[in-house]
Amino acid sequence: MTSILAQQEDTGSILVKVQDELRHLRDQLTNSGAAVDIEAITSAIVRTEKAVQGKAEELLSAQQNQVLTLPTLAHVSQHAMQVPAKRSSSVYYKQRYSTNFSVHKTPGQVVKDQLISRMIAAPMHQPSNQIARQIIQEQYGVSKPKEKYPLPPISPPKPMLGPTIKGSPPLPKANRLNPRLTPPAITERDAKKGILSLCERGLIPPAAELTLEPSPIKHKPSPLHLQNCNPMGLEKIADARELEHTMVGVQLDISVHEQDVPIVYPKSQASNVTGPRVITANVPTRGRSDASTFKMGNTPLSQMRSQINSQMSPHPPPVGPPQTPALAMSKSRKFTIQGGRTVYDNSDFEDYRKDYAAHWSLILPCLQELELVLSQFAIPVAVVDGENLVRLALSYKMNNRPTVAELIDCCTNQASILNLMGSPGQIYKGPQGYDLAAAKIQATFKMYLDRCKYLVYRQSKQAAGIIAMNWIMVMKMTTIRSRLKTSRALHLMKYRERLKELKTNWPKIQQKKRVIIHIPSRGYNQSIRDSLVDYHNLQNSQMGRICDVNDPNVEVIYISPIDLDNDMQQYYQKLLGMGVTSEAENVPETEAKVKFIVPDHLDAFPGLNFCLSTILLYSAQTLKRLKRLIAGKEAYIVPGLMHRDDMQLSEVLNVPVVAAEPDVTHLYSTKSGAKRIFANANVAVPPSEFDIYTEEQLFELLASLIAGNLGVTRWVFKIDSEFDGRGTAYCDITSFLSCHKWALKQAERYGSKWSKRWAQEPTTIKIYSELPEIIYNHLKIVNSTLFPSVDKFLVAFTKSGGVIEACPPADDVTCITVDMFIAPTGEVEIKNTGDQIRATEFQTWALSSPQTSISPERVHNNSISVANACYERGIIGYISVGYATFIDPASNDQALWAIDLKVSYTDTMAMANVLQYVSGGRFEPSTGLFKIPAYKVMPKISSRFKSPKERQPPNYRFAILAPRLFHTNLSLVHYSVFFQMCRAHHIGYDIREREGSIFTLIDSYKRDLIGMAVVESDLVTAMKTFHRNLSVVHQEISSANLPGKNNFNTLIMEVDKIMASLAVEEPAAQEAVESEEKTEL
């Protein structure tokens, strides 16, 4: 800008000098009156012309940002290149910058001159441009210089080999081999690569159902023949305002929202379009100018330069119509289009065409586009505003088409046109309507067919994915099952090897120091474990296992299924101290021999009721601790009910298990399995049938049993897999059997032949016809909470299998429990016997030990036979046999039936272990007495005796063992308060007399379950003490308003009945005991 100002100052100084010279010449002519010097005047004019010419060129070049013109031929030397006279620079200068504008250039010529000027400047940036070199040579005679060294040919770039992007890491190998593993986390960087990348890498399974939000496919109904719908998607455009004569050259900016509208243009003679074509009609803001070429006639140079500058600017301002006389007229230019054709033979159209002849090349394409739209929609009449059409034409280039909305805006009756265009099916009334309708129908039908095919394909793909996933899961499950089968077979083989070694070394192990790992696990089936409430408390009811430290060579590791708080641990430490009578310094050593271990993953599986062995197997830290504790020592595992995980624990710890194989244990722990053992042991059993799996079989066998045993009134139904009377039901069938008297007459008629099947067949058929109704109406279920109806009980009975057996035909029936241990060498040791104290008819809550209901010899012989039969089938470890004894009314002899078998460590065995530990006694199977070592007790000094005398106490004890006493109100009393209450009522154990009451704590959280053992010198005293303890505790923790749920009341009533019967038998029993003591002395 400073250079331009400087050049303007130079031009002014030149003009001032010329003015001074002309003034000087005028003064000379005026003063002297001499003749005029024509040469001096001519030379001054020539100098002024040359100076002004040079400065004008520099000024115009700086203003227009163009290259300077070459000097004229007059200043070129004689040896310079000759330029043709007709293309001299002076002529070119005169043509371009002459102030005489008699010949006006058209806008096209102006643009052409500008393009030539740009091409002349092109060699500065592109020396190899041949067109620019040719123009310079034609205009100024300057040829292209010769190149000394030709440029080497440019070879095409070599293609790059290999990947151009960095690949993503695939799915880890562990996840590819085991799809159940947790897949790696998807980072934000992985998510940015898209779903396809995640699927290819395997982070998303191939069969996963993916839903894209928002969906890329947007369903939209077809716009064909819809009522109240605008198919073109056009909004009604406001009428254009008329330009007033005072606003000539100003274009109004009317903003309209953009919207894409698909418009189909048919073939027309007015356009160069072949066939139907679809364009998108955008309705932009009016007044926008995208023109870069201006064709104007008689345009002033200043306006032309402003247009050129606006063309070269990045954001051109809106350009209004040229200020021509035609636009300045206030008369409006309107013409008519009928049937898509402009009415040419009209004076208005002819005047309009003449007035805008200079812009007709821009108006004609817009007019043709408007005709196409009106013809397409079969618009009968449209009145076009010529001025609006001119503005629209000047706003677009030749290669750009205006939108449909802008074309319709040029019409004065645009409201009626838009209504017609918005009516359904209007587009199909045009010249190409038949073809467009056919194309629309074909497209819609093809879309329908493709949609149907896609739906079928998608359904087939989903089905294939489901089938593939199921097949993969089946194959994986098959592989896992085969692996588990192989693994279990390997575990079983190693278990048998360790058991064989244990059998060989068992006598030596019993004489050496050893570690016993007690795992009170109850490996019931999953369905049974799920139905149990407080399953872990049930497993912990065998805390008496720790009393195995009574043997000085034994260390005990007790795996606890619950968390033991400080109160429980302190109590059991005191309990262990009660077994030492003389040497107090041995108490810490005894306590150190017992270790309580709680699995670290005890609470990791809430609600699943995993057995303790499974939880211990999943507790890696606990297993490591166990390995350290048993390192270098003889050790073996004593489980509860054997489970497969017990066998796997044996392999992990590399110690044997003193128990049978899991499958063998579960087979003979069932009611049907026990019947097989009893049959092999040749012991007396009640009339029964087992392995029943259908209702038809149930009714047939029951009818046969009733016909063969008409004297049996009650029949008992037991589910194989249940325990402790949970799956037991009974029915007094003969009292509801209408043909019972007739059957008795038939039995009396046949006499000794009644045992034959053919004699019982008519009776069996008649009984069979009445059984279903009797069973469904009169069957009584012991545990109605587990089986609320007869139908559910029979479903479980037939599903798991069951047993039907006769109830003893007597009013006074006593059940006996015998706990035994079968050594790996086959030796059998009877640990305890006892008479059951039942809270209900088929549920046992306590045991009076030892049993006094039948001759101990008969119980001993039968138990040894059952144990030998078990050992023959591979059963070792702890077992428990249940008997029923009564007076047979037929023979008037005492009968003993074997009715139950448990192949596991029992709660009564644990309580008997506590009894032996605190009293120091031992059960003698031959005599059936629990004897303690002889000791002397000094009586208390009183006024009657001058000196105390020694008293010889009896050397036998009787005990009441109650492993599970339940009372909900016990949870309201803390253990310390409970023991203070017991001391206040003189409930405790006397270590010197070896009599009293011992408690076992089971739960440290709810505290509603305890165990109690009462030890006395005779059975009646033991019963009275047990009765008193229950009454005192129940009265202390209960009230009339809060009795609580418990089994105390039923036990108290049962003990009252037993005490009433013992009051009659006590004198005879006392005489028998005294006579036995005399014989021993």
Instruction: For 424-448, write each residue's pLDDT tens digit.
Output: 888 888 888 889 899 999 999 999 9
- Reading the block at residue 770, the tokens are 């009445």
- Reading the block at residue 876, the tokens are 């070792």
Rounded mean pLDDT of 136-150?
Answer: 64
Convert the pLDDT of each residue in 604-651 to its tens digit. Answer: 888 788 999 999 999 999 999 999 999 989 999 999 999 999 999 999
Convert the pLDDT of each residue in 811-851 to its tens digit. Answer: 888 999 999 999 999 999 999 999 998 867 788 889 999 99
For the cut 60, the answer to whether the pLDDT of residue 232 exceeds it is no
Within 8 A by CB and 6+ apart from 364, the residues are none
Radius of gyration of the chain (CA): 59
Task: State residue 603's pLDDT score.
Answer: 86
536 phi/psi in degrees, rounded to 5: -70, -35
CB neighbourhood size of 971 (10 A): 15
**568 to 915, 918, 938, 957, 1003: CA distances (angstroms):** 19, 18, 34, 27, 9
- Reading the block at residue 239, the tokens are 């009428």
Rounded mean pLDDT of 592-602?
Answer: 90
Task: State residue 92's pLDDT score.
Answer: 39
Provide the pLDDT confidence category of residue 1001 given band limits of 50, 70 and 90: very high
Residue 548's Cβ-side half-sphere holds a number of Cα atoms within 13 Å equal to 22
For the cut 90, the answer to whether the pLDDT of residue 779 exceeds it is yes
Task: State residue 57's pLDDT score.
Answer: 65
- Reading the block at residue 710, the tokens are 């008409």
Angle in degrees, CA 456, 460, 464, rounded to 5 = 175
Convert the pLDDT of each residue in 22-58 to its tens digit. Answer: 777 767 666 655 555 667 777 777 777 777 667 666 6
Task: State residue 107's pLDDT score.
Answer: 67
* Cis-peptide, bond into residue 84, ω within 30° of zero: no
Task: State residue 984's pLDDT score.
Answer: 92
Within 8 A by CB and 6+ apart from 838, the residues are 815, 844, 845, 1054
Provide the pLDDT confidence category of residue 546 given band limits of 50, 70 and 90: very high
CA 217, 219, 223, 224 dihedral sign is positive
CB neighbourhood size of 268 (10 A): 18
210 CB burial (10 A radius; 0-12, 13-18, 19+): exposed
> What's the rounded Cα separation, in Å, for the pair 540 and 964?
11
Task: State residue 318's pLDDT score.
Answer: 38
Provide the pLDDT confidence category of residue 1067 given band limits of 50, 70 and 90: low
Cβ atoms 595, 629 nearer than 8 A:
yes
Q: Which residue has the higher pLDDT, 478 or 263?
A: 478
Q: Write the DSSP symbol of residue 169.
A: P
Q: Taking the model in full, what pTM does it have?
A: 0.61
Nearest to 404 by CA among 255, 234, 223, 272: 234
> What's the rounded Cα separation, in Å, for the pair 919 and 631?
33
Query: Got the DSSP string for 211-247?
Result: --SS-SS------TT-TT--TT-PPPPPPPPPPPGGG
Helix (H, G, I), strand (E, B) or coil at 523: coil
Provide the pLDDT confidence category of residue 352 given band limits of 50, 70 and 90: confident
224 CB burial (10 A radius; 0-12, 13-18, 19+): middle
Nearest to 235 by CA among 51, 9, 414, 429: 414
Task: State residue 248's pLDDT score.
Answer: 32
Rounded mean pLDDT of 477-492?
Answer: 91
> What's the rounded Cα separation, in Å, for the pair 1038 and 1055?
20
> What's the rounded Cα separation, in Å, for the pair 1004 and 1002?
7
Rounded mean pLDDT of 855-877?
Answer: 93
Angle in degrees, CA 436, 438, 439, rounded to 5 = 60
> What percent of the chain clears pLDDT 90, i.e. is strictly above it?
35
- Reading the block at residue 816, the tokens are 């006996």
Question: Identity (one letter) of the amino acid at 267?
Answer: K
Rounded to the nearest 10 degrees, how much is the dihedral formed by the CA atoms of 25, 28, 30, 34? -110
Q: Which residue has the higher pLDDT, 366 or 297?
A: 366
- Reading the block at residue 903, the tokens are 């192949």
Q: Starting at the edge strand that comes first in sequence, how are the strands of the sheet with 594-597 ordered?
A: 594-597, 554-559, 514-522, 634-641
Nearest to 401 by CA among 359, 377, 372: 372
Provide the pLDDT confidence category of residue 587 given band limits of 50, 70 and 90: low
Task: State residue 897's pLDDT score.
Answer: 93
Question: Identity (one letter) of the amino acid at 581?
Answer: T
> What's the rounded Cα separation, in Å, for the pair 417 and 386?
17
For the cut 80, the answer to whether the pLDDT of residue 998 exceeds it is yes
Convert the pLDDT of each residue in 87-138 to its tens digit. Answer: 433 433 334 434 343 445 666 677 677 777 766 655 555 555 666 667 777 7
> What's the rounded Cα separation, in Å, for the pair 765 and 748?
18
List the alpha helices (DSSP H) in 377-432.
386-394, 404-409, 414-422
Task: State residue 403's pLDDT score.
Answer: 87
Task: State residue 706's pLDDT score.
Answer: 92
Report the DSSP pairing between strands 814-822 and 828-838: antiparallel
Please state, rounded to an integer, the average pLDDT across all residues of the chain. 78
Query: Which segment, 195-209, 333-347, 630-644, 1062-1076, is predicted with the most confidence on average?
Result: 630-644
Task: State residue 50's pLDDT score.
Answer: 73
Q: Which of 118-122, 697-701, 1010-1014 has the lowest mean pLDDT?
A: 118-122
Nearest to 597 by CA among 618, 624, 572, 622: 622
> What's the rounded Cα separation, in Å, for the pair 67 and 64?
9
Nearest to 638 by CA among 823, 511, 487: 823
Nearest to 662 by CA among 611, 734, 717, 729: 611
Task: State residue 454's pLDDT score.
Answer: 95
Helix (H, G, I), strand (E, B) or coil at 563: coil
Query: Which segment, 159-173, 921-935, 1051-1065, is predicted with the most confidence on average?
Result: 921-935
> What's the rounded Cα separation, in Å, for the pair 305 and 664?
110
For the cut 90, the answer to whether the pLDDT of residue 472 exceeds it is yes
Within 8 A by CB and 6+ apart from 348, the residues are 333, 334, 335
Task: State residue 197's pLDDT score.
Answer: 81
Tokens 């209004």, residue?
A: 320
For the cut 70, the answer to whether the pLDDT of residue 525 exceeds it is yes
Helix (H), strand (E) counts: the chain: 34, 25
Angle in degrees, CA 940, 941, 945, rounded to 5 = 125
Cβ atoms 889, 810 nearer than 8 A:
yes
CA 610, 611, 617, 623 dihedral sign is positive
Task: State residue 1028's pLDDT score.
Answer: 93
Q: Which residue has the higher pLDDT, 122 or 546?
A: 546
